[in-house]
Homo-oligomer: A and B are copies of this chain.
Amino acid sequence: MESEVNPNPNRISQEAFAKEFLPSISVDCAIFGYGENELKVLVRREFIPFNGETHIEWKLPGNHVKRNEDIDATAARILKEQTGLENIYVKQFSVFSDPNRLKINMVDYEWLKPRIAEDRVITVGFYSLLNINDVDNSKLIEDANWENAYDVKELMFDHNQIFDEAFKKLRYDLLHEPLVFELLPEKFTLTEMQKLYETIFNTTYDKRNYRRKVNKMAYLIPLDEFQTGVSHKPARLYSFNRDIYEETRTERFDFRM
């Protein structure tokens, strides 16, 4: 299992690794999770022996591309390994190809050496969206941590740059595609949806104007279900209907609030 996550952690020979994986191409993934009214991102701890000490570093989850899979399959594989979830939304957003991107920090480079023979890896950046409540924590990989997306610690290699671009692309895409629903639970209240927008765009919206706009979206289905166990008027639950969205979307539609 662990060998799936980090190809070749000192166990497989580099020859066996090169037989299964393309050595010079990888996928790194900013996995965004929404939960507890916060947008979070999954980072992984790595223990790196260097100069007799063990360094602790953090990185985005990633993996090399297998010889028989395309990169979307690689991304889906990473999601499965890290979170236990399948059929999660993943999207490639940019390629990171600086010839020296792995040599910024010698400790990081030390982590790489036993894994691959190449000193240069081109990586395809993906972002991924999920609701943290859908994650079975017993299946969440060890050494993983959900960090607030507005306060990400220093990461290995160029992973801070990859994350920053992922976040920027996510905001951009959210205005044009129905991606909020990937972050929300299946049934959600309009206030939850509004709070999510406010979190991601770091702003606030007027409740009445927000609801008027949202009510025009035919693919937002009001359910005959309500919140329970809240000490205030229970809010109506809604769900997203992708079929109606596909039928009624127009070229020009956007999701700006």
A95: chain B residues within 8 A (beta carbon): 71, 92, 95, 124
Instruction: State whether A94 touches B92 (Cβ < 8 A).
Output: yes
Min distance, Cβ A84 to any Cβ of chain B, angstroms:
25
Instruction: Give the contacts of A204-257 with B (CB-CB under 8 A).
Output: 252, 256
Interface residues on A, range: 20 to 34
How would residues 160 to 197 of chain A score, 1 for a CB under 8 Å from any chain B CB and 0 otherwise?
Answer: 00000000000010001000000000000000000000
**A-B contact list, 27 entries, CB within 8 Å:** A22-B24, A22-B120, A22-B122, A24-B24, A24-B25, A25-B25, A25-B122, A65-B97, A65-B122, A67-B99, A67-B120, A68-B99, A69-B99, A70-B97, A70-B98, A70-B99, A71-B95, A71-B97, A71-B122, A72-B97, A92-B94, A92-B95, A95-B95, A95-B124, A97-B124, A172-B176, A252-B256
